[in-house]
A = this chain, B = another copy of it.
Amino acid sequence: MPDISVKLGTKLTLTNPIMTASGTFGYGDEVSDLVDVNQFGAIVTKSLSLEPRVGNPAPRIAETPSGMLNSIGLANIGLEAFLADKKPFLAALSTKVVVNIAARTEDEFITVIERLDAEDWITAYEINVSCPNVKEGGIAFGTNPVVLKKLCEALRRTTKRFLIIKLSPNVTDIAKMAQIAEDSGADAISLINTVYGAAIDIYSRKPKINTVIGGLSGPAIKPIACANIIKVFSAVSVPIIGIGGICNGEDVIEFILAGATAVQLGTVNFMNPHAVGGIIRYIENYLQQQRLGAISDIIGCFER
């Protein structure tokens, strides 16, 4: 059997490269009667903030060609409820748990991390500096190089845990943002968060999502994600976690060839909540058929 485990640098090994994408798999417990959550190499939880957030008003989602827009607005139960209600489920998982964090200020990030550092069932943090549909503390952190550098450095000083910075594609030069994250001590870069998008109902003349401009995800953005992985792969040496439009095993191999060490499944969880099982089987078959011993042999190995 080929080896499908992956090492994210020296600090973190996953049994397989398939993670969930934040905000598309809840806290994992919602579908635990439907999907064996431990099939994933890691679970990434919905963006967590210090206080609960109710999120944006309706409408929050809209279908677009081979994709969707969302403006959930980082609705989440907040740090205390997370630890009280979700810990029992998450701490009992055999797979790794990555907590995705979103905050309005640097201080809020630090407070959340300091509290979570006491929890030994958490493996890593993914820092969401790229949410396109909240007013404060979303993408602003991820589009300004100076702000990003200061934040990453502060977070690195705060925790020794595996630190993933999640980047936005809505910038002129994503490679530069990735370099800043790397230079500031990030252990890995995940990308992409959603792409700016909008849609208008031509009869009501209302925007199809409440914030007018929201985040585009799904198969439509797969080539955009792939291009960004390629750019970042040649700019940094920390591992990349590829996200964006993955639907099946082929897409995962494509992203790994482009330079991703691991990947996240987002919108596909809505289209096919069982995707992970088929993807893992596909990867194993692909490796066997291509006579490859390990998935890690092909990271970034496309012909330039």
Residues of B within 8 Å of A67, CB to CB, are 65-66, 220, 223
User: Which of B216, B219, B226 is within 8 Å of A197, CB to CB?
Assistant: B226
Residues of B within 8 Å of A302, CB to CB, are 200, 205-207
Residues of B within 8 Å of A172, CB to CB, are 143, 170-172
A227 with B303: CB separation less than 8 A: no
Task: Answer yes or no: A257 CB below 8 A from chain B CBs.
Answer: yes
Residues of B within 8 Å of A171, CB to CB, are 171-172
Least Cβ distance of A283 to chain B in Å? 11
Residues of B within 8 Å of A245, CB to CB, are 65
Proximity bits, A279-301, B CB within 8 Å = 1, else 0:
00000001000000000001001
- In the bound assembly, the distance between CA atoms of A216 and B225 in angstroms comes to 11
Of residues 84 to 103 in A, which have CB atoms within 8 Å of B's CB atoms?
none
Task: Answer yes or no: A212 CB below 8 A from chain B CBs.
Answer: yes
User: Known interface pairs A66-B220, A223-B67, A227-B213. Does A303 touch B205 (Cβ–Cβ under 8 Å)?
Assistant: yes
Least Cβ distance of A272 to chain B in Å? 14
Q: Copies of this chain, how many?
A: 2
Least Cβ distance of A212 to chain B in Å? 6
Task: Answer yes or no: A190 CB below 8 A from chain B CBs.
Answer: no
Residue of B nearest to A298 (CB): B205
Task: Answer yes or no: A118 CB below 8 A from chain B CBs.
Answer: no
B303 with A219: CB separation less than 8 A: no
Of residues 162 to 194 in A, which have CB atoms within 8 Å of B's CB atoms?
170-172
Least Cβ distance of A94 to chain B in Å? 30
Task: Answer yes or no: A113 CB below 8 A from chain B CBs.
Answer: no
Task: Answer yes or no: A261 CB below 8 A from chain B CBs.
Answer: no
Pairs A-B, 10 closest by C-beta atoms: A197-B223, A65-B219, A220-B220, A66-B66, A198-B227, A65-B66, A202-B253, A198-B226, A196-B227, A64-B223
Residues of A within 8 A of B (CB): 64-67, 69, 143, 170-172, 195-200, 202, 204-207, 212-213, 216, 218-224, 226-228, 230-231, 245, 250, 253-254, 257-258, 286, 298, 301-304
User: What 4 new A-B contacts, CB under 8 Å, besides A200-B302, A202-B250, A207-B302?
Assistant: A66-B66, A198-B230, A202-B253, A213-B231
Residue contacts A-B, CB under 8 angstroms, 19 given: A64-B222, A65-B218, A65-B220, A67-B223, A171-B171, A195-B224, A197-B227, A198-B223, A198-B226, A200-B302, A202-B250, A202-B257, A204-B303, A205-B302, A207-B302, A207-B304, A212-B304, A213-B227, A216-B224
